[in-house]
Amino acid sequence: MKSLAVVAIGGNSLIKDKTKTSIADQYMAICETARHIADLIQEGYNVVVSHGNGPQVGFMLRRSEIAAELSGIHSVPLVNCDADTQGSIGYQIQQAMDNEFRKRSLIEEVSNEFYKGDMLKTAITLVTQVEVDGKDPAFQNPSKPIGSFMSKEEMEKQKKMYPKSFYMEDAGRGYRRVVPSPRPKMVLEQEAIEILLKTGFCVIAGGGGGIPVIRTPENQWVGIDAVIDKDFATSLLGSQLKADVLIISTGVKKVFVNYNKPNQKCIDKMTVSEAKKYIEEGQFAPGSMLPKVQAAIEFIENGGQQAIITDPAHLRNAAKGEAGTHIVPDSKNKVIPLDEIPD
């Protein structure tokens, strides 16, 4: 079996700046990221791609509200916005990946109980549900930023229009709307993802952290309004799939401590204990780098070999141990490239 890398793409990384927020702009950013993921696949890895949806789900929810205000058209529940963005962003990633595979004439050799023979490498998007606890305290304490950044004046104006909504300052970049973000418990479509991987597909799954669902007393699944943090959901997915490496793609090449201070420094490698110490010191901003580091820790503690945080351009080198910040178990003294990890 090839080594399995689960790669998370941040929703914010698909929006380069405030002047490039259109669907076309987003697709251009996705195409750039797809090239780097294809590099990783060409190195011989199986890849599952997940993505964030923080800005996009906020845009969709806001469009729904405006449409309801102006025309009386029914608004769209947040959980349905999760599903919509999972499909729309997944479609763009799938198309970009397929186009990249065709450019490279990337052929996959498959031989298992599902398929035998050569096939052109193909991406597929799977609508993914993720179980959460309906009693999760996050429902009483909304904290997940969605939508665009706002000035304090813009935030106050929107707050008057929607008094039941919540807003918070986001890592010094402005104010954003926040919604409940319960912790994921289980990715429902795990078996389907595994079958698709065995059949040679590059799978796009768990988009936007997955569609949050709860289990009823009658053992039925029901969607619930929330947005699951994509880093925690991807970490859980990686653990369920027993992935060799979790790669969280973000806007910086490496993780920094003392960020934006005169004594800031980048981290090449840190053990789980060191990462926890940095968290206790408040080194990582909530809603920004903190959940990424926490998700990496969870992946390692659930049996993962290593987790990497880096930007899209350094995915290939990061997997070789030559770039990014590597989070490893306390027992490891060095970063081990995936092709050197014993079976």
Active site residues: 11-12, 144, 230, 292
The answer for residues whose C-beta is within 8 angstroms of residue 149's C-beta and 6 or more apart is 18, 170, 173, 174, 175, 176
Handedness of CA 313, 315, 317, 318 (dihedral sign): positive
Across the beta sheet with 166-169, what order do the strands follow?
A: 144-150, 175-179, 166-169
Tokens of 242: 């027993």
Q: Under the phi-then-psi rule, with left for phi > 0, alpha for psi from -120 to 50, and beta for the rest, what region is 208? A: left
Question: Residue 182 pairs with which residues in a beta bridge?
Answer: none
Nearby residues of 15 by Cβ (< 8 Å), 6 or more positions away:
21, 25, 26, 29, 55
Q: What is the Cα–Cα distance from 193 to 203, expressed in whole angstroms?
A: 7
How many other CB atoms are there within 10 angstroms of residue 179's CB atom? 23
* Residue corresponding to tokens 């009658």: 218
Contacts with 71 (C-beta within 8 Å, 6 or more apart), sequence order: none
